[in-house]
Amino acid sequence: MTAAVAQAPYLTWLYVPGDRPDVVAKALDSGADVVIVDLEDAVAPERKRYALDATAELLGERRRVPVHVRVNALDGPLAEAEVRRLTPLPGLDALRLPKVSGPGDVARVAGWAAHVPPLYALLESALGVENAHAVAMAHPAVAGLALGEADLRADLGVSDPAGLAWPRSRTVVAARAAGLAPPAQSVYPDIRDTEGLARSCAEGRALGFLGRTAIHPRQLPVIERAFLPTPAEVEAAHEVVGAARTEAGALSLPDGRFVDAAVVAAAHRTLALAGRASERRPRAPRSP
């Protein structure tokens, strides 16, 4: 089984264009848990070389916020050079691989890398979704799965979010089956519709997603609030963990709830997220 990379619970992942160093600098101070420098969709073809140069300069030293890079299409002319140039750099925390359709795509990237960093595979086609578990197990460096829902909608020919219900659940199940962290939700494209974003996050959380990618700092606090546990959930988790300390094996709480190892593990995750909320100082999002 692929081992998940140990990390603090990440809830907010902010995409920024790789050809805008000024925007990247602001993103690093935005409050996002992870900054994703995008060399793919956010960069015009004539700006690709500059984006790579600027990103390589950024990654020449480690940053206080984890920096991931989404490279260009793996079957195109740019990705191999990007992977070979960026993977030796000390500031790269992970690569995000677009349009992964099968385990061979992951293996190809690992073969290009000087040092294989954590890899996040983006499933953006019907074939990618079908191969989700095989992709998750393709290499020990695979740290997570994610959906690229815009391209997936186009590939499936669906316009209603209901058409993505099965791919979303499939991705959550495949990640869990491979021992990976729960995937983060795909971006919500309307940066002004914070109420819609909150509703969508609640739906994603109910499906098993943890956190969400964003395209603007104003989305970050909405995402964080949506995925942090409620006071009632924290209280219930404390009760479960407390009971598990006093009795071994499966047990039943006074209110009739059955508790086994999986329930205890879920309670620990809840408390880890609650601890994250108390440790983070409030930061006002800054617009890039």
Report helix angle 103-112 to 79-86, nearest 10.
50
End-to-end CA distance of the chain: 40
Per-residue pLDDT tens digits of the chain, which is 288 residues long: 333 333 457 999 999 999 999 999 999 999 999 999 999 999 999 999 999 999 999 999 999 999 999 999 999 999 999 999 999 999 999 999 999 999 999 999 999 998 999 999 999 999 999 999 999 999 999 999 999 999 999 999 999 989 999 999 999 999 999 999 999 999 999 999 999 999 999 999 999 999 999 999 999 999 999 999 999 989 888 888 888 776 665 676 777 677 777 788 888 888 888 887 656 544 444 444
Enter the pTM of the model.
0.88
What is the predicted pLDDT for the residue at 249?
Answer: 59
Reported residue count of the chain is 288
CB-CB contact of 217 with 27 (8 Å): yes
Residue 239 is predicted with a pLDDT of 83
CA 278 to centroid of chain Cα atoms: 22
**Please, are residues 84 and 114 in contact by the beta-carbon 8 Å criterion?**
yes
Residues 121, 100, 14, 51: is their CA dihedral positive or negative? positive
